[in-house]
Structure 1
Amino acid sequence: MASTQTKQRISIKSLAPRVYKAILALDAVAGEGLEPPLKELVRVRASQLNGCVYCIDAHSSDARNGGEAEQRLYALPAWREAPYYTERERAALELTDSMTLLSESHVPDGVYERAASHFSEEELAQLMSLILTINGCNRIGVATRLQPGS
């Protein structure tokens, strides 16, 4: 099978260092107060939906290093059918899917209400900030063809 891997394009880190630093600073605070395993599930899930191989690689590794079970990572694309996630995680993943695929769903009231029933207002604000941040990182990773392991 022929490789379809492409070369990395420009480097935001090198060419827009202030933007890159601001993104890192946002990433450092987005999701504050949420449990680390939940944060990594959200990051991996959004990255899967966006097709960001760099972020899938990085956050899957971070999740594993944080003790996440391989089974839960492998089942993440089918989280709705898999029995491995708590109701709180399911609410976060549903919101992640909806916010990531924003043009398809515009975050229906039911999705928001389910998330609000499992997260305090402060936690919900942090969760939404985390989803926003990983989606921004994914867009840079995909557009620049950021290579995993780089």
Structure 2
Amino acid sequence: MNLRMNYRAANPGAFKAMMALEQYVSGQFEDKVLYELLKIRVSQINGCAFCIDMHAKDLMKLGDYGDHILLLSVWHEVPIFTEKQRVMLEMAEVVTRISEHGVPLELYNKIREHFSETEIVNLIMAINSINSWNRIAITTGMYPGCFN
């Protein structure tokens, strides 16, 4: 594997802007497990090996979440995820694939049962952020360990 370019070096201002968004969004989540699950699931959908690796490792630092990582792609079929995590995962999938069906009112109503309006905006921003990171990583050829 070859890194196509080091976007951080090529455009430090763009990297700084993305990091500012990341720092803001990550600071809005008290539940870091929820945040890392969101990042991993969106990265799975987008096929971003770099981000899956990074956020799976970050989640493992928070505790024994190996089963959560292994079963995240089939979260619909297993009982280990809380109802709040399940609703968030559904929202993350739908927003990541927003061009396919939009965001159904039923899902919006379900998310409101678990999250305040401020938290919903934070979820949307987190989904947007990781989608942006995935697109940067995939386009520039990033892979686990490429910056080591």
Alignment equivalent of 2:97, drawn from 90, 94, 101: 101
Task: Report the RMSD for the aligned CA atoms in angstroms.
Answer: 1.1
Alignment equivalent of 1:112, drawn from 87, 108, 115: 108
Note if 1:77 corresponds to 2:56. Answer: no
Question: Which one-letter code corresponds to 1:17 in the other structure?
Answer: P
The normalised TM-score by structure 2 is 0.94
Give the corresponding residue for 1:57: 53
Q: How does 1:32-43 map to 2 (within 5 A)?
A: 32-43=28-39
Is the 8 Å Cα contact of residues 26 and 133 (structure 1) preserved in structure 2? yes
CA–CA separation in structure 2 for the residues paired with 1:57 and 1:117: 31
Alignment equivalent of 2:82, drawn from 81, 86, 90: 86
| SS of residue matched to 2:106 | helix
Alignment equivalent of 2:41, drawn from 40, 45, 69: 45
Alignment equivalent of 1:26, drawn from 21, 24, 47: 21
Q: Where do 4+ consecutive residues of structure 1 move more than 4 Å?
A: none
Is the 8 Å Cα contact of residues 34 and 127 (structure 1) preserved in structure 2? no
Note if 1:11 corresponds to 2:6. Answer: yes
Is the 8 Å Cα contact of residues 54 and 147 (structure 1) preserved in structure 2? yes
Deviates further, 125-134 or 26-35: 26-35
CA–CA separation in structure 1 for the residues paired with 2:52 and 2:29: 23
Question: Which one-letter code corresponds to 2:104 in the other structure?
Answer: P
Give the corresponding residue for 1:3: none
Note if 1:126 corresponds to 2:122. Answer: yes
Identity %: 35
Is the 8 Å Cα contact of residues 91 and 115 (structure 1) preserved in structure 2? yes
Is the 8 Å Cα contact of residues 30 and 130 (structure 1) preserved in structure 2? yes
The normalised TM-score by structure 1 is 0.92
The Cα shift of 1:7 comes to: 1.3
Q: How many residues align?
A: 145
The Cα shift of 1:68 comes to: 4.3
Deviates further, 81-90 or 24-33: 24-33
1:111 and 1:34, CA in 2 relative to 1: closer, same or farther beyond 3 A? Answer: farther
Q: Which runs of 5+ in 1 are unaligned?
A: 1-5
Question: Which one-letter code corresponds to 1:131 in the other structure?
Answer: I
